[in-house]
């Protein structure tokens, strides 16, 4: 199982989009400074995720979400809690 996820920085309100096969471990790693992109934006909160059967599908969806980041479609995702 693969996941596409969106994290929100509680420090600056910005978002991070990623994909992983272990969502709990990945979010923990982000919050412990294990990712350069989010290290200085901690703490981070998981605000949305979707699950996929394959890495290819998850990566494709991650790219789609990143393509409309900041737009109306992105806003609908982050306002929808899972």
Tell me, what CATH number does 19's domain have?
A: 3.40.1440
pLDDT, tens digit, 9 for 90 and up, residues 15-41: 999 999 999 999 999 999 999 999 999
Question: Which residues make beta-bridge pairs with 45?
Answer: 8
Residues in the chain: 82
Let me know: does 46 contact 20? Beta carbons within 8 Å.
no
Domain count, the chain: 1
Domain that holds residue 24: 2-78
pLDDT at 62: 96
Rounded to two decimals, the pTM is: 0.91
Assigned token pair, 64:
């789609």
């Amino acid at each position: 199982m693969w996941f596409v996820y969106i994290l929100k920085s509680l420090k600056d309100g910005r978002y991070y989009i990623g994909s992983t096969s272990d969502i709990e471990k990945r979010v923990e790693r982000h919050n412990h400074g294990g990712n350069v992109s989010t290290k200085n934006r901690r703490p981070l909160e998981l605000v949305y995720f979707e699950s996929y059967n394959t890495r290819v599908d998850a990566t494709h969806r991650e790219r789609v979400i990143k393509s409309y980041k900041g737009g109306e479609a992105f806003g609908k995702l982050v306002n929808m809690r899972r």
